[in-house]
Structure 1
């Protein structure tokens, strides 16, 4: 083998070894396990229902793999509890991340007012177990408010149903504000449902409560769009419920014509007799009626 070829072979082997080492280093660098956690985040150490006071015992810190802390989250227990007492507003499960919207501000009470969104109001509607959808409305659901009323004009009464407000949030049922409840509320004779509405909607509900009866219609979750809903009256329920409806009148059945009464002559026709009288060669026939029947015919004619 020539000396030049040997040198080229040695150089090629050296370059191949260098390339192999570089590839091995790159693969090892990109296939290495994720780096150790760079921080912590505060989560619930147990199930926390509405109104629970947060303490170092019912919260815990877990490693955070990414270096960026989620918005409104807390990195340590100290950050969570340093400014004062905090109370749970939204029920949380074990290991669920604790964020600012789910708890009160430091030193704030867990009242219904802190659940209201900015610019919203809370108004209570009293309904019975039927108008409250048999107790199946729960905090966090969305409902429509329907006004039922009766109006009397010119002696005629008209019943109507109008959709007053659509897609409003239920804040509480009686004294229950737990939005994680998965069982229907127990039906009672009267039930109070607290709704989150705008100031104008609150006025409408309060005024409508003096005009007629309010009923709630449960909406499908996530169905935010408003549906077209006009007034429904008695006339829309069918002809039997129409305001000016009259009871159906039975059709008159055709009455069979009475057979014409037979004349007295016809009545006594069968009682007549044929009499033949001969006058010479002339022959004449007569119908002879019994004297009593003849008298009756005469009286009838008179």
Structure 2
């Protein structure tokens, strides 16, 4: 009996020791994980709540409170024009805003992508302060084969007569398209042959483009999305295109000859004499 009791006691002590060992290991692991989490939190950059859409939103759709949600976003990487508060996006007593640039699910709602409260998604919402909308007639050739879309930037070339010679000249650079035919949705990407494009320009540019369109033919050249170069003055005519140079006109000095008429009998002859002038 004593042997059995001793054996049970030994086994009990061993199990207790093993339990204590396992508990110490678990506590050590938990402490290490807690310390690692605290260290990671201390290293993490601060975040703020930003409003994003919960589903894809297309051009022209109204944006409602049930379409958005507030999520945590790294504070130093917030895009410009974001909304932090629901009250700012949805002012009390005002109609909803309208989407003017398509947004994907969980994309931040930006001021550049929605109208003012109650405003329609028309061209006026695309015009900045001091800018005007101007329509340019285009065809398959002058309109870049139908690959223009709202939001693109183009250079404008004029072709017409300058002092009796046909020439093509760059008259405006990197102007923004705000509509192609009747479409002003920047998310629209299907190629189509447009008849007119609408650009956002200053009043002085409106006058220049109107004059150019009435006196010649306008052609658009698509500018790359990340191209920030400034185009220099460009003018090309047929002679410069083909490398034809105007012939140099040389003046030839003609020696002056003076004569006098002398009568010899019935005959009158012309005789050279020194010129006095």
Normalised-by-shorter TM-score class: 0.5 to 0.7
1:60 maps to: 68
Contact 1:40 1:61 in 2 (8 A): no
CA distance in 2, matches of 1:230, 1:132: 20
The number of residues matched between the two structures is 214
Contact 2:158 2:218 in 1 (8 A): yes
2:53 maps to: 44
Structure ID, larger Rg: 1
Q: CA RMSD in A?
A: 3.4
Are positions 1:82 and 2:88 aligned together?
no
TM-superposition CA deviations, 1:213-248 (whole Å, max 9, x none): 111011122222222232111102326x8899xxxx
Are positions 1:133 and 2:144 aligned together?
yes
CA distance in 2, matches of 1:218, 1:118: 25
Deviation at 1:26, TM superposition (A): 9.3
CA distance in 2, matches of 1:39, 1:226: 38
2:174 maps to: 167
CA distance in 2, matches of 1:118, 1:147: 27
Q: Secondary structure at the match of 1:90?
A: coil
Alpha-carbon spacing, 1:228–1:78, altered in 2? closer, same or farther (3 Å): closer
Aligned counterparts, 1:1-302, within 5 A:
28-29=34-35, 31-32=37-38, 34=41, 40-57=49-66, 59-64=67-72, 70=78, 72-75=81-84, 77-83=86-92, 84=94, 85-150=96-161, 153=164, 158-184=165-191, 186-187=192-193, 191-238=195-242
TM-superposition CA deviations, 1:16-54 (whole Å, max 9, x none): xxxxxxxx979844533759x987432112211221111
Deviation at 1:137, TM superposition (A): 1.3
Deviation at 1:117, TM superposition (A): 2.1
CA distance in 1, matches of 2:218, 2:74: 51
